[in-house]
Structure 1
Amino acid sequence: MSDILLSTLQAGVLHLTLNDPATRNSLSEAMMAALQSALDDVSADRAVRVIVLKATGPAFSSGHNLKEITAHRADPDRGAAYFQQLFSACARLMTSIVRHPKPIIAEVQGLASAAGCQLVASCDLAIAADTARFCTPGVNIGLFCSTPMVALSRNVPAKHAMEMLLTGDIIDAHEAARFGLVNRVVTPNELGGAVDAMALKIASKSMVTVKTGKQAFYRQLDMPLDEAYAYTAQVMVDNMLKRDAEEGISAFIGKRQPQWTDEP
């Protein structure tokens, strides 16, 4: 693990901490590569049940590193090849979060701007301190937040998403919760405890069941109604045949705690 991304594992919860406060935890090439590698490495790791994304310093993430981007304007193609590589890497990272078998929670203590806001929106869950702020301000500098728009528009109602995208205005944590961008808002002192409580609650569930549910949730979203019901009905049949479903139902009937096997 690199110095710009810290990693700690405790009680099945992996904390990945963006640690580049000098750039406001920008999603530089190096930061995205470190995040991608960390997520890929634990995809099949049974010791990791839940992932928390957090950050050091006053900002959660300021988005892409504009100084890094500007340096490539001097390239013969004015940076076109680099920009393609950068935004493709970002798209892969955000897609990896959605498709990752582990639930991923954003712990947001400060500003989440542009691709940083996209990072929060891509996570399955998000808890914010009341000091957190969110924006997609690309329109203010002539660069529309088109890739952040993908995650934002899938998590926030259209009118709210368009207001953020077209004005570039900053919204506070309470408005982000009202929009549906974050699950809840707590004080800065409560933030770590609130995230840990949620992470540990999820970590106590059957890992194979949680993986099944997360995967099915995202797959059915864009299906027509009848197709979604047909798909999820088959998911439930397959789920019912897993040992953890048998154990969980038996434990419920027997009024005891289930003993999960986490077997596929």
Structure 2
Amino acid sequence: MRMTLSTLNWRRREMVRWLVTCATEVGVRALVSILQSWYSLFTPTEATSIVAATVMSHNTILRLSLDYPQREELASCARTLALQCAMKDPQNCALSALTLCEKDHIAFETAYQIVIDAASTGMTYTQLFTIARYMEHRGYPLRAFKLASLAMTHLNLAYNQDTHPAINDVLWACALSHSLGKNELAAIIPLVVKSVHCATVLSDILRRCTMTAPGLAGIPGRRNSGKLMSTDKAPLRQLLDATISAYINTTHS
């Protein structure tokens, strides 16, 4: 494993799984050992997606008949590994780290902060949208909104990219913002206008925003006025103007 760590080898993934299987057969101490010394044996992606995920699986716990202290020791080692990998390679390990740290509040918060810190320089809009959707699924809509907003700053949809794979993510981000309330929608629309220049996408977003009142997510402490938003006023006015301009520019292109 050490010899092939920095060189490409088509059998390496198979050998990583085999090593974890061997460690499982040996017992808890062997698993702890490879978790703690992961950096000398595995890449960050291998360590999070294969090693830690396998060690923390229900099948491994049942197979070893672990008691509570042993399970906690393995979980602690796996979380430490996950955070180290996320720091080293946030692009490929951030989501795995969040998943591995779900049951520990402090570790989960740390993993989330790693994502936020890496968002401006080291992550693509695809990666950020994926993590944002995960956050919404876990019940953190405001964090999902923040990550989706960061993802929007990395995106550039040209006038003729009406089948771009990121369109569904953009529509989802706008729907999320709309469901959270007028403030969130007002915050994301300037990002949409700056990043999206495709007229059909902009008109679709505008149509969706005018169909229902904002703030339907039921966030505690938020009031929903129940009023539909007008395209003559902010924030939809900016979106309407951008949509019209996009159609004009497309016609002239």
**With structure 2 as the length reference, what TM-score do the two structures score?**
0.30
Q: Is the helix fraction higher in 1 or 2?
A: 2
**With structure 1 as the length reference, what TM-score do the two structures score?**
0.29
Question: Looking at both structures, which has the greater relative contact order when contacts are Cα pairs under 8 Å and sequence separation is at least 6?
Answer: 1
- Larger gyration radius, structure 1 or structure 2: 2
